[in-house]
Structure 1
Amino acid sequence: MTQDSTSLDSLRREIDSIDESIHDLLIQRSALVERIANAKGETITVLRPGREAEILRRLLARHRGQFPRMALVRIWREMIGALLAIQAPFAVAVQSSGRGPDFIELARNHFGVVVPLQACRTAGQVVRAVADSEASAGLVSMPAGIEMADEPEPWWASLAVGSGEAPRVVARLPFVSPPLSSGVAELPQALVIACRDHDDTGDDRTLVVLETGPDVSRDRLRAAMAAGGLESAGLLAICRRGDAWLHLIEIQGHVAVGDPRLARLAAQREPVAHVSVIGGYATPLPPESIP
């Protein structure tokens, strides 16, 4: 055996040792997750989108070397999805009508190969599946545009009238997109809903539904929000409900239901008659952050 062959064999044995160390650590991590699940008991909430976002932000910030960042994200997404299934039964309802964007691949990329997916024809069916506990979470299309009065009420408007443990938006996908120069087709945008509050990660967006009368301009809405201390990041969609108009607004930062700024906005009465928080999400990482 040549010196080069001996050297290669030594390197391969070192790789085997590293593989076993990685595997041992994965087993240890799984055991810790089981202990956490047992400590929480029946009140367990396995889906922690904010915690997941913080993990990926931290890992990508400390990453070095030639190992691709997108591969690192996929490895951790698979691990997180598998560990969700260890803690409690977990399934995801996915909007997949065959018309327009299909979110099955997006859901699989995010939740991994272990988590069961339930295909639904409409976003409304996804919302009902989550509300009725038939699914632990759901993927629905990112709202955009004006919904006409003779069309079915959009899914986000139904969240504005929910009560108790109604579904709310908890994440936006994809959280990490491949670089624009990678040649990979741009992924569709979707929102994750679940029966839990959205997390505060320090870099977030909040979704609110503002109810107004007719003929309220975007500038007037922005001014009313600014007077209440809220910074609008954009108007995502509008729909009509009877004589009222509902505006889906994205707000900079994490805003909880009891935030006093919401009370100040609602107290103006003009032009906003009612404010509803329907969730929020950790701000996704831009493609240019994944070289």
Structure 2
Amino acid sequence: MSNKVTKAIFPVAGLGTRFLPATKSVPKEIMTLVDRPLVQYAIDEARAAGIKEFIFVTSRGKGALEDYFDHAPSLEDELRKKGKDDLLEVLKSTYMDSGEIAYIRQHKALGLGHAVWCARRLIGDEPFAVILPDDVIAAETPCLQQMVEAYEQTGGNMVAAMEVPQDKTSSYGILDVAEDMGQLVQVKGMVEKPKAADAPSNLAVIGRYILSPAVLENLNDMQTGAGGEIQLTDAIAKEIGGSGGVYGLRFRGQRFDCGSKAGFLQATVAFGLERPDLGDDLRRFLYEVVSAEKAAE
């Protein structure tokens, strides 16, 4: 078994109901954050971490997502004729080579664990990453790259982790920490969406994972957990105390929950402010809005 992580699973089968009516015809994953779809941020992060094979777990109605990564010869020709070389390069950055990307259908919405299990035959006997495109992370070193670098030292299984307010623990998988080593923690338990009073810590798992193929074997049991769904957290927790163990990495960066409208708007502002071509105008506009609100108080 290779210890190098070259495959990543992107679970994108969700209906995106929180973004209706937009998601009636547009998959949530290709809704644009500034001028790039959510999924492009995830792909770029994966590539930076050395991922070579991209596996999308989709569902009915995701055709536009598949088209996004395809070549567009007529659009290329049009841009070339008009001398728009910069836009042509942007367009080419969205392409995926033949054999680099695969699509698997999840026919029933049975949970994140089930979505990952659907890709088992394409993973085989190798460690793999899981990236949830809803979680967009602004970081100097991309989050998955930080994890891959740490994983090379630890092996086993690794989840990205961040501190959350105690009253928000019921929205996350929460780590029970055996040993806190600073940026890395060794995990002795994982609890999916505990009540604040029952949470073993406030260290939450967010949508980045590096997992051993043993986790896929654990998912074969099809055991349901919180919410009556097949939880990925439960399958990872079975590896605690095993030969590889489970670790949490406190990543360096800011995470935006783009599965929520508020998080999507916050990410749009944050990424817009970082853009050299947009930052000054956006900053000026935000200043004027805040100033007007203060004046009205």
Give yes or no for TM over 0.5: no
Length-normalised TM-score, structure 2: 0.28
Higher RCO (C-alpha under 8 Å, 6+ residues apart): 2
Flag the structure with larger Rg.
1
Length-normalised TM-score, structure 1: 0.29
